[in-house]
Amino acid sequence: MDLSTMDRGQLTLLGSASCVMLTMHFSVQLLSQHLFYWKNPKEQKAIIIIILMAPIYAVDSFVGLLDIQGSKTFFMFLDSIKECYEALVIAKFLALMYSYLKISLSKNIVPDEIKGREIHHSFPMTLFQPHTVRLNHHTLKLLKYWTWQFVIIRPVCSVLMITLQALGLYPSWLSWTFTIILNVSVSLALYSLVVFYHVFAKELAPHSPLAKFLCIKGIVFFCFWQGVVIDVLAAVGVIRSHHFWLDVEHIEEAIQNVLICLEMVVFSVLQQYAYHVAPYSGDVESKMKLNKKRE
């Protein structure tokens, strides 16, 4: 393969493909470790779904690069796959935290030592909830509902958006309406995770919840805000098309997809630390026993 004979587009595609392969390598490596040490199905099923987020985003973005002149409906479909999976991951992350704390809302199991704790809401949530509430079965259910509403709203909005776009009934005001609804929905879901973390930071500390949360939040944050930055750069004329057969919108999609392919390599590496298999392989237990003997 002679790289010197390749044009810019081919090199970009090759680099993106390499990033996807690296993401797949790190993700499959971590997945295989969890499958080999399959000790806690309830927790590890959630972890596997979370780990798959990086390769799904990478592959989805690479498919978008393969058809750079695709229709708006095509790119909307690809974006919907990522965002619907994002909703599932957020819900599974909360389920993982519940599992760590031995909480089962369906069986009405809430450990006595965590009941009665105070939850302090911040603005704008204080417009709908008291500033301070006590933790009980009801408030835990409420946090779960706040998370799962995004799991429902995201696919419903995706189906409506794709259908309306395909029918040619998708004006800009409707696009902004869906954008606002989805941003409020995902913000509420992420807010519930932040509240949950602050309330149980001490109990969750051995499980590195912050690192786990940041892996998810980082993917969501970068994908959303870099999309906003790219839109602004295109609006002010920094990003322009130099080809009659390629408009600015398709260039924006291509830049976003290339960046996601690059970023997923980083997040797949970070997941090696955040979701490592040590708690299930016995390494952590053996170290704790060894430390106790030394003491």
Q: Which tens digits make up the pLDDT trace of 141-181? A: 888 888 889 889 988 998 898 888 888 888 888 888 988 89
CA 288 to the chain's CA centroid: 32
CA gap 190, 123 in Å, rounded = 15
Tens-digit pLDDT profile for residues 42-86 = 899 999 999 999 999 999 999 988 877 667 778 888 888 888 898
Which pLDDT belongs to residue 110?
62
Q: How confident is the model at residue 260 (pLDDT cuts 50, 70, 90)?
A: very high
Query: 91 CB contacts (<8 Å, ≥6 apart)?
Result: 147, 148, 150, 151, 189
pLDDT at residue 92 is higher than 70: yes
Q: Considering the chain, what is the average pLDDT of its residues? A: 82
Tens-digit pLDDT profile for residues 110-121 = 666 666 677 777
Q: How confident is the model at residue 286 (pLDDT cuts 50, 70, 90)?
A: very low
pLDDT at residue 213 is higher than 80: yes
**Domain containing residue 178:** 3-282
Does a structural domain hold residue 290? no
Domain count, the chain: 1
pLDDT at residue 236 is higher than 60: yes
Query: 112 CB contacts (<8 Å, ≥6 apart)?
Result: none
CATH number, position 78: 1.20.1070
pLDDT at residue 281 is higher than 90: no
Does a structural domain hold residue 292? no
Which pLDDT belongs to residue 262?
94
Does a structural domain hold residue 293? no
Which pLDDT belongs to residue 261?
93
Higher pLDDT pick, 288 / 165: 165
Does a structural domain hold residue 295? no
Which pLDDT belongs to residue 214?
85
CA gap 141, 149 in Å, rounded = 12
CA separation, residue 188 to residues 145, 152, 192, 219 (Å):
10, 13, 6, 17
The kind and range of the H/E element at 96 are: helix 72-100
